[in-house]
Amino acid sequence: MYHAETTDQLAALTERQLELIGEDPTREGLLKTPERVAKAWQFLTHGYGLDPEAILRSALFAEDYSQMVLVKDIEVYSLCEHHALPFFGKAHVAYIPNGHIVGLSKIPRVVDVFARRLQVQERLTLQIRDAIDAVLKPEGVAVVIEAQHLCMMMRGAEKQNSHTTTSAMSGVFLDQPDTRAEFMRLISG
């Protein structure tokens, strides 16, 4: 799971960062921290090595179902690309099939692929929509992400109760207000 050379290089960088902030990386509590941080970075950014479209294609099934499919409350954990601090929340993803459905577990996996990269919430929302659109070619896709950003809570504005909501829609979710309203009603319930 962890690339040895990458782990060594990241650990060396982490050790230097500890020195730069005035810490002693040789003290007992920090001895293994550089390696742990290196492995954490690899885990938290493993989405770069995954192909979201291949994940969707691996469980694509012909099916004559034409009503909304919604997977809601998908946990999202990502890192803000501006400060490398976490943001976290929930994603709600729906699509209207057009002759094909996808295995339900593949929707959260696609969310994770994009979330496990340095991100901004706005791009994350679009990438999820676009991957589902590209592979399933559905009648429409809707994605809403609600998240809290530690870069706004721990530093900068320091607003503890702020939430950010983003949405990206295509097809019938844009063209048919009733379909969009049904989606919004289902995710708020």
User: How far, in Å, are 69, 78, 91, 120 from residue 159 at the CA level?
Assistant: 35, 19, 22, 18
Helices (DSSP H) in 79-138: which residue ranges?
A: 106-115, 121-136
> Of residues 35, 83, 100, 146, which has the active-site annotation?
83
User: How far, in Å, are 40, 81, 95, 189 from residue 114 at the CA level?
Assistant: 17, 13, 18, 26
> Of residues 80, 119, 127, 139, which has the active-site annotation?
80
> Of residues 46, 146, 148, 151, which has the active-site annotation?
151
DSSP secondary-structure letter at 21? T
Active site residue 82: yes
DSSP secondary-structure letter at 83? T
> Of residues 19, 63, 75, 81, which has the active-site annotation?
81
Active site residue 80: yes
Active site residue 100: no
Active site residue 3: no
Active site residue 163: no
Active site residue 9: no
> Of residues 92, 119, 121, 139, which has the active-site annotation?
121
Active site residue 81: yes
Positions annotated as catalytic residues are 80-83, 121, 149, 151
